[in-house]
Amino acid sequence: MTFDFYKYQGTGNDFVMIDDRSQTFPASDQALLERICHRRFGVGADGLILLQNDPNYDFRMVYFNADGAEGSMCGNGGRCIVRFAHDLGLFEKETRFMAVDGEHTAVVSDDEIFLKMSNVSGIENRGGLTFLNTGSPHVVQFVDDLESLDVVAEGRAIRYGARFQPGGTNVNFAQLIDEHTLYVRTYERGVEDETYSCGTGVTAVALVAYQQLGMVEPVSIRTMGGNLRVSFDPTSKEQFENIYLIGPAKRVFTGLITV
């Protein structure tokens, strides 16, 4: 059986996209999904995303981590599937779609995608680490010298730490660049490595920066893969609405997968 696939990236966070509106893709085959995402023996990606029909929305986003397991919300993946749906002609400028964490809306504006994220309520202190859920679980830690930090070793230790079991957490390290800008590096669970960018991660960093550093929105974020912005309406120090993840999403190439 052969399937068309489409490779997209959002600030270096890359994904294999499948138009699965016919629901014929063997999504239950975790080993196949992991092999497709493998950077030596497959297409290579941080995750695989199915675009499916939904009777109440323009489409449904089904996201799988690079290990082949279905994942929680992926912000950069959300922006990429919006670009994919736009390329397929499913909408003109504004869209509503369903993801694992509920309804999302988005706007396409030239090269940028404005993706509305889920509301956030609650920023916790877990043993000295700041934890919150922005559609996926995240730890945020501010550091002074991010360039020299061993993100994989430090991130893995936190990701598998007892205080975040059984599911574990993503881990973001952030450094203040100026009063409006942060540099962020992320260790992602499911990928089990540092990625070039993480959408739910930079969203988490922006909200914590508002709470702990007094930064005003929109917060500019630099990642290894490019620049993002996060805007939001704080209703308190720990509750946020109208959160938007803003940045580019582009098609890289297309091809065929035979399974």
Structure tokens that stand for 216 in this block: 């005003």
| 11 touches 196 (CB < 8 A) | yes
The active-site residue, picked from 171, 198, 208, 245, is 198
Neighbours of 190 (CB within 10 A): 23
Is 74 noted as a catalytic residue in this protein? yes
Q: Which helix (H) or strand (E) holds 83?
A: helix 75-87
Quote the CA–CA distance of 133 and 34 in Å, as a whole number. Answer: 25
Residue type, 107: V
Burial of 107 (0-12, 13-18, 19+ CB in 10 A): middle
> What is the torsional sign of CA 210, 213, 215, 221?
negative
User: 15-39: string of b/e by CB count within 10 Å (b at 16+)?
Assistant: bbbbbbeeeebebeeeebbbebbee
How far is 32 from 28, CA to CA, in rounded Å? 9
Return phi, psi of residue 16, to 5°.
-90, 125
Whether 80 is catalytic is no
Instruction: Name the active-site residue from 16, 74, 117, 140.
Output: 74
State the catalytic residues.
74, 198
